[in-house]
Amino acid sequence: MNLSQLVVHARQRSNWESVDLGILLARRHWLLMATLWLIPAAAVFSLLLLIFPDRPNLALLVIWWLKPVFERLPLLLASRQLFAQVDSFADALKLFFRANRCDALSWISWRRLNFTRSFDLPLTVLEQAKGSVRTARQSLLHRKTAGTASWLHIVGAHVELILSIGLWALVYMMLPEQIEVDWLPLVQGDNQFFMWLANGVSLLVMAAVAPFYVCAGFMLYIGRRVELEAWDVEIQFRKLRERFIAKRGTQKNGRLENNNPPSTPRKPSSVNTTLSCLFALLFCFSLAMPQPALADVITPAQAEEQIDEVMAEDDFHQKETVRGWRLKDFEETKYHFPEWVIAIIEWLEGLGWDDDSDETEASWVPLLAGIVEVILWILALALVVWLAWHCRKYIRRALGLRTRTINAPVERPETLFGLDVRDDSLPDDVTAEVLALWERGRQREAISLLYRASLAHLINRYNCPFQDHHTEAECAQLVHEESGLNKQITPKLVQLFSRLTQVWQHQAYAHRAPATPLLESLCRDWLISFSASPTDGDTQGGQA
């Protein structure tokens, strides 16, 4: 393995970044890897077709179980492509038996359902690790990548399933409407030809997904090795060494070209002087070093006596009293259930017991039935209360009750949809001012004055609960509803306000002014309905 030939930049990457790099590697060599996976798989599939022609599902199960065998050749090719070793298709196919030479039986037996297969397979194929060495190596590599490798396996399985379903959905959508196909026998497996065809499609889907699954797990393995073995640092040191060697070679070549004379050898006198200084320094250094302390040689009996003397000293016979709080050891007492709990349980059993019940059934069945019955009754009661609370307004209206008390403080709006509805903003004689504005050609102002005067009277004299967010139609509907609760709002007043609302909407939004007789009729009815206060009307009615 020559790290200088690595085709990707060696650096530390996150787990999912390494997986993404593996997907990119699989895209560049997808056709070759998919073909190398498919050829041995198709050979086994064809062999099973000849041996078991009436067992199509068995063939697909065998192909699925032998996936680790078929994935080794694309993995070996990916490792060689990563280090710029280009192989032809025939040379790569010859490596099939070499790739499956190590631990093939274990990968199709107890390791077959391993979720980290794509990450662990390089240990067997590339490192040829076995036994305790493989276990220790795998444990080290799994510390930060086992979760990502497992999720990669899960995603790969779902991608295969989605592609298979998508292909058959595409076939179904592309069929012409004139062709009627009875899908039930096909789905049930009655047609052997269709089952073999479906399994062949599944085989192609496995071959299409396998390169991405293998390369993603392989690059996740490479990323973990780059992190553990510092490939990036090693590559940089190799580059520095190559530059240093190249620089020295350049300098030598330059000296030869310039015919520089060879360096004169050092004179013997200078060599002797140097050696003398070196020996003097070594002698001084040896004198300055402390002499090693040598232990006295004693017999085992003497060593035992010394140990006994040391153990007899006061340092090994000290006593210390420690005081503190601790939990008290309570005596275990048997807990007796209260009588009311036993009574409730018996009552629940009585609810669940039926005269037709079998006496041999378990004792907990009546209790469970009683609990379920009580829960259902509680849910039904809660549903009734919830409906009553959310429909309380409609219930009050149906019973003729007011939704609020008259004496309660009410926040009365001062403007409604841009109209000033205060009493102070109205003239003393509303109808006279309306007719005067109408004669001067100011129809919109006349209708607006008559409409907002009606709103002001309904708010201040009849306590209609208008709100700022109400529209004209909602105000008319509210007056109609209040007439059933407030006897002071007569049907004639409701009809007048409904007509006036329609006239105002036509004028304000459609710019359609009413006829003069209609306006005069509205003014007359307005005088009859709003001229006297409600209490005056009631008093006059009583005197009559």
Which tokens belong to 424?
Answer: 């102070």
pLDDT for res 328: 67
Which long-range CB contacts under 8 A does 370-375 form with residues at least 24 apart? 374/348
Strand, coil or helix: 503: helix
Q: How many CB atoms lie within 10 A of CB 231?
A: 19
* Torsion over CA: 486, 489, 492, 493 (sign): negative
467 within domain boundaries = yes
List Cβ neighbours of 137 (8 Å cut-off, separation of 6 or more): 123, 127, 129
Assign residue 455 the CATH number of its domain: 1.20.120
48 within domain boundaries = yes
pLDDT for res 382: 93
CA nearest neighbour of 503 among 540, 465, 472: 472
pLDDT tens digit sequence for 129-174: 888 888 888 888 888 888 899 999 999 999 999 999 898 888 888 8
pLDDT for res 405: 46
Asked if residue 149 lies in contact with residue 118, where contact means CB atoms within 8 angstroms, the answer is yes
265 within domain boundaries = no
521 within domain boundaries = yes
Q: Where among 236, 266, 301 does a domain terminate? A: 236
| pLDDT lower than 50: segments of the chain | 263-269, 271, 292-295, 405-408, 533, 535-544
33 within domain boundaries = yes
Output the CA angle 88-94-99, nearest 5 degrees.
110
440 within domain boundaries = yes
Q: Where among 205, 236, 267 does a domain terminate? A: 236
Calpha distance 217→22 (Å, rounded): 7
Instruction: Give residue 524's domain range.
Output: 415-531
pLDDT tens digit sequence for 325-350: 776 666 666 666 677 777 777 777 77
For 34-61, give the DSSP string. Answer: HHHHHHHHHHHHHHHHHH-TT-HHHHHH
65 within domain boundaries = yes
Give the dihedral of Cα atoms 525, 530, 532, 537; nearest 10 deg: 80
pLDDT for res 151: 92
DSSP-derived letter for residue 280 is H
pTM: 0.46
351 within domain boundaries = no
Q: Where among 187, 202, 236 does a domain terminate? A: 236
Number of domains the chain is built from: 2
